[in-house]
Structure 1
Amino acid sequence: MAKQDAAEVEAIERDNATFSVFETLMTPEKIAQVAIVGSTVHLAVSKFMQSEEDTILFQDILTTAVAILVGLGVSYRTRIVNNGIHDSLLVRKADILPDFNTLYLLYLPTFLSLLFARQFTILNLVMTFNYADMAPYMRLPIQTVLVLFNGQIYDDRFTYIKALGLNCILAFVLEKVSQLKSFDRVECNLFSILLTNVLFLIDSPTIHFQVLQNVLRGFVVAVAVNYPLIKLTSRCNKYLRSALLLSTFVCVLPLTVMYIFEIDGQNPAVWLYYYISSSSVRIKITFSWLIGLLFLIPNIMVFKSNFSLDSSRKIWHFIVLILVVPPLKQDPEFVKIALAGTIVSFLAVEYLRYLKLAPFGEYFDSKLRSFADFRDDRGPIIISYIYLVIGVASPILINDSLVGVISLGVGDSLASIVGNRWGRHRWPGTNKTYEGTSAFVVATAACSLSFKFFLGEFKDVSFTKLMSICLFSGLLEGNSVLNDNILVPSFMLLIREIFK
């Protein structure tokens, strides 16, 4: 207690005396989120629980979810019993309570698996227990028990146990790199589950997924090789250090990809060259992308000062819409391959920016930071453009769906611009406005209907259900505080599949 003065201790004790878990969880915005998520869960159960096997799966999901929630509750109660002492400081009970966004940590991996990779549903749900505030030597045995004694897991259980270990390592690395500032613990665990699925669990025959999986593996290997060099060269001349780290990274990544990955018996780079050059459509798409980016990037940089920070950031959302949608209708597989490569390219760009390699590292960092908002400034990683490309690309790669483009390229952009300029009435508990939410709903509805009638999207979704998708997504976007680029495309993809 010596580290806290008497007034601070008194204030914390007063807050703890009046603290109520029930009242904390029953705020209007949280009730709205639970209602929206709960309604989609109910719809999913009603639609997909058609056989005895489905019934068993949903029962196992419920049982596992309850076990995880009990574990989180026990962890919370243990800290309360210990008088709220943490690092010799008295802390508020409200700060000990698990993050409300844990709801999405349980919801998103479980239902995305249920709809698109059913065999991993229970495993992905079990991996969310990694969020529990326990030491790994306590968490992993509990997760292993949940996996070993689950009737829905029929395959090699040792593979699932290895996945649990990999997920634990990835979450730990993300927490250390982000310092729990760029990403919070919920986001670290969401991304660790996503990476575990892509890097290790899913085995898809599609070329775009194989490109994503193997190039991402090459990126991970290159970063791992560079890690000890970062430590060893910390006292070296900055130019020598930068040259060594950059040359190692740009050599290890492609060499690793070429070593572990072949397409039709060919080097992937050679295959990609012939793949593009064999089609006039692909050549035109490639040149249009290059010309568009060469024209747009310098102009946006030059005229950025004429726009507000929010407007200059949202311009990129509109650009993604223009660059993705027309080519996708011309050659969808090529666009998906390009998006798979773009995800890893953005990760590589962010990694090199993070290292701030001389002589251009500081300049590069300052230019990217000029588009950063408060979430990017919290920690060492600039997350916005990574979230944007993942949010746009993931629905296309998973299910050929344009909901990411619609929600982020149109809905989120207009919601932010309208909300910041004309918004006057705020949703309880958030900084978002009713006006911004209305803009989101109207924009996504108009865009979705245009895609339905002119591009052939949403053929299996009725007009009423399509409007409901936009309305539910807008209400969730307005009431939630989880990053929109993660939550909204994922939710729209889920509810679109449920309403299909």
Structure 2
Amino acid sequence: MEKQSAEDRERIQKLNDDYSPMHAFLRPEKMIQLMMLGSTIHLIVAKFLQDEAGAKLLNNIFMTSSAIFVGFWVSYRTRVANNGTWSFPLLPIATFVPDFNVVYVMCLPTMFSLIFARSTTIVNLVMSFNCADLPLAMKLPVQALFVLLNDDYQQNRTKNFKAIFINCIFASLIEKIGHLKSFDRVDCNLFSICLTNVLYLLNRSSLHFQILHNVLKGFMVAVSVNYLLSFITTKINKYLRSAILLTSFVGVFPLTILYSFEIEGHNPAGWLYNYILQKSTRVKIILGWLGCLLLLVPNIMTFQSSFSLDTSRKLWHFIILVLIVPPLHQDPEFVKIALAGTIVLFLSVEYLRYLKLAPFGEFFDSKLRSFADFRDERGPVIISYIYLIIGVATPILINGSLVGVISLGVGDSLASIVGYRWGRHRWPGTSKTFEGTFAFIAATSVCSLALKNFNVSFQDISNAKLILTCILSGILEGNSVLNDNILVPAFMLIVSEGLK
């Protein structure tokens, strides 16, 4: 280890003496985010936790949240106390402070659970402590202790312990895949909590959830098999290695799905074929999707150089709006099934790009990276289109809501374009503009009201509350640095449910 110079230690010590974690958390953009989250939490508590069972759950949430905050504080103070001791270099204590976005790891899964799966609320809150910058051997027992604090969930303790362990494994694997560059620790834990819920905690009877669960399981099995094969084939010819890995993936993935579950007594492939042919509407929807993609993809790729990177990326957002809204109105169940499969399809595309299999891997990688932004360039994984499909699909899969399509297909796209071209006045502490936020609010409000007026969606919420949902979401979008494709649809869905 290279010895730290006296000048460096003196400079860092001065920074540490002047640093206050409270000042960092009291910055204007963070205070605005806390206000938006606080008002939303109040809405959810007022609507969903007013009965006796709700009061008990609220007390458990408060106790668990307090314990988690104490855990983060003890971790921070311990690292500060040991900073620069035992011949280790002195580090800026700002690096020891938990990322502000940890509040979203705590709030988003917890509020989703309160609204849609109350029995999983506490364990989802507990799993947020996995964000702590501590060794796994310390994080697991602490999370288990948090579960033990909740006596009302004794019957679920074993299941919750398993969920905590599974979540830690998923988070560690995602960190390893992205090298903590493509995904920071917050991203890793949001994804791991989502995977833990879909693959283990939740047990939904809906057809689209069963398909998502089993197709995602097939993907995970195929990736695991390929991971083992990648070690065995390290020293062989790259073309042969690529052929083995590709053959393994395209073989194991569908076979796992076919043999892991049945739908109405049929294997999934046969059932899907018959299901599509049951209604001519479904055939027309598929032909429409294929026609649009065959027409639009080559043209966008051809004329991409004529647009800025931001504009070419946002075109895909508008396209998703057109591809989803009309079919969803015609056949909601079919579109949900298609979206469940599309999420895993996008993961598969990214996995194959990530492998860069010869001879077309580099070409495939270059084409996808032509739409990448600065976040995608930080690490080996291109995350933008994965976030996009998850942000669009999740509200639809949960309760058929179009908030993801509207917030990303219309709001985020226009906010980005207007802010980039005409934005002059910036939110304090961020690069986003008031003009962009106004464009987001106006676009999402108009689009939401239009869909409500034509009886497409939002029939169970008043016009005023729908506009308020767009305003709160726009303000949060303008002040946050968490990826909009994940944050805004999730927040907008939570607020709309709280205001119904």
TM-score (norm 1): 0.98
Residue 120, structure 1, aligned to residue 120, structure 2: yes
Distance 1:287 1:52 in 2: 52
Does the CA-based 8 Å contact 2:110-2:125 persist in structure 1?
yes
Q: Deviations over 1:27-75 (max 9, x none)?
A: 1001101111001111222222221111000010011011001000100
Q: Deviations over 1:177-225 (max 9, x none)?
A: 0100111001101110000000111111111000000000000000000
Distance 1:152 1:422 in 2: 54
Following TM superposition, by how much is the alpha carbon of 1:422 offset from its aligned partner in structure 2, in angstroms? 1.0
Q: Which residue of 2 aligns with 1:287?
A: 287
The residue identity in structure 2 corresponding to 1:250 is: V
Following TM superposition, by how much is the alpha carbon of 1:3 offset from its aligned partner in structure 2, in angstroms? 4.2
Following TM superposition, by how much is the alpha carbon of 1:2 offset from its aligned partner in structure 2, in angstroms? 4.1
Distance 1:490 1:295 in 2: 31
Range 452-461 or range 65-74, more displaced: 452-461
Q: Which residue of 1 aligns with 2:55?
A: 55
Does the CA-based 8 Å contact 2:48-2:115 persist in structure 1?
no
Q: Which residue of 1 aligns with 2:436?
A: 436
Range 80-89 or range 187-196, more displaced: 80-89
What is the DSSP-based 3-state SS (H/G/I as helix, E as strand, rest coil) of the residue aligned with 1:374?
Answer: coil
What is the DSSP-based 3-state SS (H/G/I as helix, E as strand, rest coil) of the residue aligned with 2:153?
Answer: coil
Q: Deviations over 1:269-310 (max 9, x none)?
A: 010000001210000001101111111111110000000000
Q: Which residue of 1 aligns with 2:357?
A: 357
Following TM superposition, by how much is the alpha carbon of 1:414 offset from its aligned partner in structure 2, in angstroms? 0.4
Residue 337, structure 1, aligned to residue 347, structure 2: no
Percentage of matched positions with identical amino acids: 62
Q: Which residue of 2 aligns with 1:241?
A: 241
What is the DSSP-based 3-state SS (H/G/I as helix, E as strand, rest coil) of the residue aligned with 1:300?
Answer: helix
Does the CA-based 8 Å contact 2:430-2:479 persist in structure 1?
yes
Q: Deviations over 1:360-409 (max 9, x none)?
A: 10000000000000000000000000000000000000010000000000
Does the CA-based 8 Å contact 1:262-1:268 persist in structure 2?
yes
Range 158-167 or range 331-340, more displaced: 158-167
Following TM superposition, by how much is the alpha carbon of 1:84 offset from its aligned partner in structure 2, in angstroms? 5.1
Does the CA-based 8 Å contact 1:131-1:189 persist in structure 2?
yes
Range 458-467 or range 198-207, more displaced: 458-467
The residue identity in structure 1 corresponding to 2:278 is: S
Following TM superposition, by how much is the alpha carbon of 1:161 offset from its aligned partner in structure 2, in angstroms? 1.1
Q: Which residue of 2 aligns with 1:28?
A: 28
Q: Deviations over 1:331-388 (max 9, x none)?
A: 0000000000000000000000000001110000000000000000000000000000
Distance 2:349 2:191 in 1: 18
Q: Which runs of 4+ in 1 moved over 6 A?
A: none
Range 137-146 or range 25-34, more displaced: 137-146
Distance 1:208 1:13 in 2: 55
Range 75-84 or range 212-221, more displaced: 75-84
Cα distance change of structure 1 residues 32 and 87 upon mapping to structure 2, 3 Å threshold: farther
Q: Which residue of 1 aligns with 2:321?
A: 321
Q: Deviations over 1:71-103 (max 9, x none)?
A: 001000000001256993321111111100011
Distance 1:325 1:249 in 2: 33
Does the CA-based 8 Å contact 1:424-1:433 persist in structure 2?
yes
Q: Which residue of 1 aligns with 2:475?
A: 475
Distance 2:5 2:254 in 1: 56
Distance 2:459 2:86 in 1: 55
Which segments of 5 or more consecutive residues in structure 1 lack a partner in the other structure?
A: none
Following TM superposition, by how much is the alpha carbon of 1:5 offset from its aligned partner in structure 2, in angstroms? 3.9
Which segments of 5 or more consecutive residues in structure 2 lack a partner in the other structure?
A: none
Distance 2:455 2:463 in 1: 15
- Correspondence list, 1:131-170, <5 A: 131-170=131-170
- Aligned-residue CA RMSD in angstroms? 1.3
Residue 213, structure 1, aligned to residue 228, structure 2: no
Distance 2:306 2:86 in 1: 48
Does the CA-based 8 Å contact 1:182-1:383 persist in structure 2?
yes
Does the CA-based 8 Å contact 2:112-2:494 persist in structure 1?
yes
Cα distance change of structure 1 residues 405 and 87 upon mapping to structure 2, 3 Å threshold: farther
- Correspondence list, 1:415-430, <5 A: 415-430=415-430
Q: Which residue of 2 aligns with 1:71?
A: 71
